[in-house]
Amino acid sequence: MKRPSLRSILLGLIPFAGACFSVALWDRVYPMVLGLPFNFFWLISWLLLTPLCLWGAYRVDAPRTERPPREGSGTR
């Protein structure tokens, strides 16, 4: 059983830093961005940035867990 590597876990900590621990820095209304209060805009952008970080983590670990493709063995 392969555990995630340290590099991949560090990538996963980025969204926690950005959307959780740093709340005091971005919890404000102004400047409004795209018509949204700043805190609102900030968290919405993490909906897009989190997949990027995880995709990075996937790439870091992918070579380690790659299995032979199981094409043609569909269940239906």
Partner 1 sequence: MSSSVVALTIISGIVAVGSCAGFYARSHHKMDLEQWTVGGRGFGVVLVWLLMAGEQYTTFTFLGASGWAYSKGGPVLYILAYQPLMCVVAFYILPLISEIGRKHRLQTQPDFFQVRYGSRYLSAFVALVGVVSLLPYSQLQLTGLGLIVEVASFGGIHRTPAMIIAFTIVAAFVFVSGVRGVAWVSIIKDVLLLGAAVFVGIAVPYMYFGGIGPMFAALARAKPSHLTMPGATADLGHGWYISSVLLTSAAFYMWPQFFAASFTARNGNILRRNAIVMPLYSITMPLMFIVGFTAVLVLPGMSDSNLALLTIVRKTFPAWFLGVVGGAGALTAMVPAAIQLLTGATMFAKNLCRPILAPGMTDQQVGWLARIMVLVLTAGAMLLAIHSSATLVSLLLLGYDGVAQLFPGVVLGLFSRRVTTSGVFAGLATGISITAALILTGRDPYHGLNAGFIALCFNFAVTGLVSLVTPVHAGELDATLFAVSTSENTEGASLT
Least gap, CB of 53 to partner 1 (angstroms): 8
Q: Judged by CB under 8 A, which of 3, 63, 71, 72 binds partner 1?
A: 3
The alpha helices in 17-75, defined as continuous H runs, are: 23-26, 38-65
> Within a 10 A sphere around the Cβ of 11, how many other Cβ atoms?
21
Angle value at C-alpha 35, between 51 and 19, nearest 5 degrees:
35
Q: Which residues bind partner 1 (CB under 8 A)?
A: 1-4, 8-9, 12, 15-16, 19-21, 23-24, 27-30, 32, 34-37, 39-40, 43-44, 46-48, 50-51, 53-55, 57-58, 65, 67-68, 70, 75-76
